[in-house]
């Protein structure tokens, strides 16, 4: 992202636009695991790096806090440390929302979306076979974006995106386990078949199983069992 080298005094409209760009860049970093769990994001330091004044950067950080991606600390912002019960709660929400969303997507599936799903699944299989974790993360995100793009209720799709993102930091660690990656590849294959069939009922059932399997694999890989354990980091 190119935001220029100067730090101008922005008008309100320009500040909003710059804050949106910073938000998008930081969200991408978070989704790709480029922000370490113990890393502090300080608005002044980030603003210097972007070549901006402090306010649009702070606006972006506060938006990420409001959406649950970051928490405030005595010095800057950081990724929240999720306890096992937090993760269970998020999976419960996903289990309630994602099957219905998958059914909606299956009923509105386009040829373009199916092509994107096929490409993402193929890349996911390749990445798993070569232990390319970064590529697997990207392909998994591409698969999710392709089917969620066919969900008519955009608020529902955005909510699912957000809750999936909230467990991303822990998922990045668990994807280092081949068994977990194999479950993901297999689950995406079943989902792809359901979407290809444009079968809402089958898509909902496959998505329910996928979320359940993902939760079970997630906790096995993280070595967390009880609902009240500490931070869910492996």
Helix (H, G, I), strand (E, B) or coil at 67: coil
Give the class (CATH, top level) of 12-78. mainly alpha
Q: How many other CB atoms are there within 10 angstroms of residue 231's CB atom?
A: 15
Q: pLDDT tens string for the chain (234 positions)?
A: 444 333 343 443 466 699 999 999 999 899 888 888 889 999 999 999 999 999 999 999 999 999 989 999 988 999 988 888 988 999 999 999 999 999 999 999 999 999 999 999 999 999 999 999 889 999 999 999 999 999 999 999 999 999 988 877 667 767 888 888 999 999 999 999 999 999 999 999 999 999 999 888 878 866 655 444 444 443
Delimit the domains of the chain by residue range.
Answer: 12-78, 84-222
Helix (H, G, I), strand (E, B) or coil at 131: coil
Q: What is the pLDDT of residue 87?
A: 87
| Closest C-alpha among 72, 31, 34 to residue 162 | 31
Q: What is the pLDDT of residue 170?
A: 67
User: CA–CA distance from 115 to each of 143, 168, 202 (Å)?
Assistant: 10, 25, 19
Rg (CA), the chain: 19
| Closest C-alpha among 208, 188, 6, 216 to residue 97 | 208
Q: Which helix (H) or strand (E) holds 71?
A: strand 71-72
- Cα separation, 181 vs 204, in Å, equals 22
Q: What is the pLDDT of residue 224?
A: 58
- Cα separation, 99 vs 90, in Å, equals 15
**How would you classify residue 52: left for phi > 0, otherwise alpha for psi between -120 and 50, otherwise beta?**
beta
Q: What is the pLDDT of residue 167?
A: 79
CATH superfamily of this structure's domain 84-222 = GntR ligand-binding domain-like (1.20.120.530)
């Amino acid at each position: 992202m190119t935001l220029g080298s100067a730090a101008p005094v922005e008008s309100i409209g320009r500040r909003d636009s710059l804050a949106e760009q910073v938000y998008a860049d930081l969200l991408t970093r978070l989704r790709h695991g480029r922000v370490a769990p113990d890393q502090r994001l300080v608005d002044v330091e980030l603003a210097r790096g972007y070549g901006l004044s402090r306010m649009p950067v702070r606006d972006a950080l506060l938006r990420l806090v409001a959406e649950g991606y970051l928490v405030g600390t005595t010095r800057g912002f950081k990724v929240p440390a999720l306890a096992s019960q937090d993760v269970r709660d998020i999976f419960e929400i996903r289990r309630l929302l994602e099957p219905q969303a998958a059914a909606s997507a299956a009923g509105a599936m386009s040829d373009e979306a199916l092509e994107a799903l096929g490409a993402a699944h193929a890349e996911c299989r390749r990445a798993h076979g070569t232990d390319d974790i970064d590529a697997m993360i990207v392909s998994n995100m591409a698969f999710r974006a392709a089917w969620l793009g066919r969900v008519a209720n955009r608020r529902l799709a955005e909510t699912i995106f957000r809750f999936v993102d909230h467990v991303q930091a822990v998922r990045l660690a668990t994807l280092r386990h081949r068994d977990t990656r194999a479950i993901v590849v297999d689950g995406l294959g079943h989902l792809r078949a359901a979407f290809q069939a444009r079968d809402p009922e089958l898509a909902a059932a496959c998505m329910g199983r996928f979320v359940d399997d993902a939760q079970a694999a997630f906790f096995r890989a993280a070595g967390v069992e009880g609902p009240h354990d500490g931070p869910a980091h492996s």
